[in-house]
Amino acid sequence: MSNYTMIKEIKEYARINDVPIMQDEGIDFLTTFILKNQTTRVLEVGTAIGYSAIMMALAHPKLKVVTIERDEQRYLEALKNVKKFGLEDRITLLFKDALDVNLHEKFDLIFLDGAKGQNINFFEHFERNLDEGGYIITDNISFHGYVEKDESEIKSRNLRGLVRKIKAYIEYLKTNPNYITTFYDKGDGISVTQRKEG
């Protein structure tokens, strides 16, 4: 089976099972970023079924990903998918809560795509693993457009709480003196944060 057909199958599985994988525009952005920056060491928070990790690995032949997932069913599905692509040597899957994972290695890209209300915690937990000049990319900064909406338009209390947390994260990025962040209106909203030199 071709990579193209296998990717289509993963996307179909995600659609049927409501797995929130990255949108096409977001994936294009991420893979273009990887090529432009020659990114080779990636840490991903939120594997889901392995789609974004596989797409990143396919984008650059030398790229390696360590990716973390806390949901067992998704982790097992990701394991299966990574094997299908023969990417076991380049994609390392960890079945854990990301905040319980302590790594010593450095990465040139940390991709945050886990629980949307936890981004500040993920950021502070993993910034020690960011190489000098490395980037932290965060997905779903716009959260289906809710972040741009007036709060009164959001009926669900849970959703309002989540949107507030995403806004707090955006504020955190904007005001963090050690980093420079650019926000992109791509896919579901993506931020690219670079550590300042020196």
| Interacting residues toward ligand SAH by CB under 6 A | 20-22, 46, 48, 51-52, 68-71, 74, 97-99, 113-115, 118
Contact pattern from residue 75 through residue 104 relative to Mg ion, giving x for each residue in contact according to CB under 5 A and a dash for the rest: ------------------------------
Give the one entry of ligand SAH, Mg ion, none that residue 114 binds, where binding means its C-beta sits below a cut-off of 5 to 8 angstroms depending on kind: ligand SAH
DSSP state of 21: P
The length of the chain, given as a count of residues: 198
Q: CB-based contacts of 58: which residues, under 8 Å, 6+ apart?
A: 3, 85
Instruction: Give me the least distance between CB of 70 and ligand SAH, in Å please.
Output: 4
Distance CA 60, CA 39 (A): 8
Angle at 192 between CA 56 and CA 117, to 5 degrees: 90
Least distance from Mg ion to the Cβ atom of residue 177, Å: 27
Segment contacting Mg ion by CB under 5 A, of 70-78, 118-126, 136-144, 160-168: 136-144
Q: Which pair of tokens denotes residue 64?
A: 């390696």
Cα(26)–Cα(182) distance, integer angstroms: 15
Task: Indicate which of Mg ion, ligand SAH, none lies near residue 137 (CB less than 5 to 8 Å, by partner kind).
Answer: none
**Contact present, 161 and 155 (Cβ < 8 Å):** no
Residues 10-49 that bind Mg ion (CB under 5 A): none
